[in-house]
Amino acid sequence: MLKEEEYRFWYCSLIRVGIVIRNRLKESLGSPEGVYRAQKGAVEQLLGPFYPEHTVERVWGELERSRREEVIRRGHARMKELGIRLVMAGEEGFPEGLLTLPDCPSGLFVKGELPAAGAPAAAVVGSRECSYYGRNTAKTVGKILAEAGVQVVSGLARGIDAAGHEGALEAGGKTFGILGCGPDVVYPRENRGLYELVAEAGGLISEYPPGTGPAAWHFPARNRIISGLSDCVAVVEAGMRSGSLITASLALEQGKDIWAAPGRMGDFLSRGTNRLIRDGAMPLTAPEDILDSWHLKRKRSKISGKTRLSLDKSAEKVYSYLDFDPKSGEQIRAESGLESEIVAAALVRLELEGLAVQPFRHYYAVKRDKGEQYGEVSGYRGVPCKGKDHQEIPGAKL
């Protein structure tokens, strides 16, 4: 005979039984053990009036197939060995934001923590195949929000999701990865290091039991958990078919604020975000937009005299032509009007000082984080802004 916690584990592992059907069975039969012990006639009586015969037969077949006590015991023991716990809907600690969902998860498998109920939480989501600009922006958003005490929630996917987590980690804040696989499964594989850091700094959360591999249909479903755990959703970059638009749509249904980073007209990775703004989402022009809406203040680092950096005029001019969109050395030379040798020397100096970076070979972009750390560069705060004639505007802020 199974223990109560093993019945709970079995019930929440029935991922081949739709969540709405699963919840209906539990409500009618009283408990996971009641579902486990249900006979075929009882299942047919409960589901028959609402679902076609083939669906009822499939559900019964799945219940019967999964009732293997030794397999259940091993799975539950393995979960505990991995340091994963199960929090069922309705139990203490289960996020209230998920309880109102029509397809509320039966339970959450958690490695680490769940987001704290008393602190604000924001989802930072977007395209997997993002641009350098998008990745840098998402990392900055995650960092500044986390510095202000906001919990950063995302899907631990490559691209924008990963960058949002990285920014929160850099700030020493709380961040939570919502997975489309078991909480012990690293997907994608290149995120293994990030997976471990997020587990330590916050938590890894999934409605799928340990050992469950990623599947295409898992990810749209996990998006409702991302939005349900968040007070707002920030979409940084998204094409018209991006899964992050599903997250935004679900958040809108849940009454959450939607923020979208504006992009250039016609840019493939900005079509989704621009469409969101057209349809009523708030434009995300800076992370402070979100903080202001919550009456939170950004935590700014104090700049000491030692961090002030003085550049010569040629390096300063080259720096003024750098942006978050990578440019080739030849493009910078053509825009600045400087000789190739001068541009090359200036770029080397800017890289050494941590003010520029090569995201691709021979392509350069501004490195915002280090520029903010220095605080002032040749008397200008942050990256020098440009006026109509492409000249710096003294004292202008980003």
The pLDDT tens digits for 71-86 are 999 999 999 999 999 9
- Domain boundaries along the sequence of the chain: 4-81, 112-293, 305-381
Say what the pLDDT of residue 381 is: 35
Number of C-beta neighbours around residue 207 at 10 A: 26
Rounded mean pLDDT of 188-199? 96
Third-level CATH fold of 305-381: Arc Repressor Mutant, subunit A (1.10.10)
Query: Between 379 and 24, where is the model more confident?
Result: 24
Amino acid at 259: W
- For the stretch 221-251, pLDDT in tens is 999 999 999 999 999 999 888 889 999 999 9
Query: Between 273 and 362, where is the model more confident?
Result: 273
279-287: Cβ within 8 A, 24+ apart? 281/235, 281/248, 282/257, 282/258, 283/259, 284/141, 284/234, 284/235, 284/236, 284/259, 284/260, 285/261, 286/398, 287/140, 287/141, 287/144, 287/145
Rounded mean pLDDT of 113-137? 94
Mind giving me the DSSP string for 151-205? EEEE---TTHHHHHHHHHHHTT--EEEE-SS-TT--SSGGGHHHHHHHHHHSEEE
- Cα atoms in the 13 Å half-sphere on the side-chain side of 383: 19
Mind giving me the DSSP string for 293-340? HTT-----PPPPGGG-B---HHHHHHHHH--SS-EEHHHHHHHH---H
Is pLDDT above 60 for 301?
no
Say what the pLDDT of residue 395 is: 35
Is pLDDT above 50 for 337?
yes
Instruction: State the angle between helix axes of 40-47 and 19-29 in degrees (0 to 180), rounded to the nearest 10.
Output: 110
Is pLDDT above 90 for 29?
yes
pLDDT band for position 384 (cuts 50, 70, 90) = very low
Task: Give percent above pLDDT 70 in the chain.
Answer: 90
Is pLDDT above 50 for 61?
yes
Cα gap 172→302, rounded to integer Å = 17
Rounded mean pLDDT of 30-49? 95
Say what the pLDDT of residue 300 is: 66
Is pLDDT above 60 for 319?
yes
CA dihedral 114, 116, 120, 125 (to 10 degrees): -10
Cα gap 1→6, rounded to integer Å = 10
52-59: Cβ within 8 A, 24+ apart? 55/21, 59/17, 59/21
Is pLDDT above 90 for 34?
yes
Q: Which CATH class is domain 112-293?
A: alpha beta
- For the stretch 147-185, pLDDT in tens is 999 999 999 999 999 999 999 999 999 999 999 999 999
Query: Between 271 and 368, where is the model more confident?
Result: 271
CA dihedral 237, 239, 245, 248 (to 10 degrees): 30
Q: Dihedrals φ, ψ of 193, to 5°?
A: -60, -45
The CA distances from residue 258 to 125, 145, 184, 274, in Å, are 11, 15, 31, 12
Say what the pLDDT of residue 183 is: 97
The model's pTM is 0.83
Query: Between 391 and 68, where is the model more confident?
Result: 68
Is pLDDT above 60 for 199?
yes
pLDDT band for position 283 (cuts 50, 70, 90) = very high
Say what the pLDDT of residue 148 is: 96
Rounded mean pLDDT of 31-59? 95
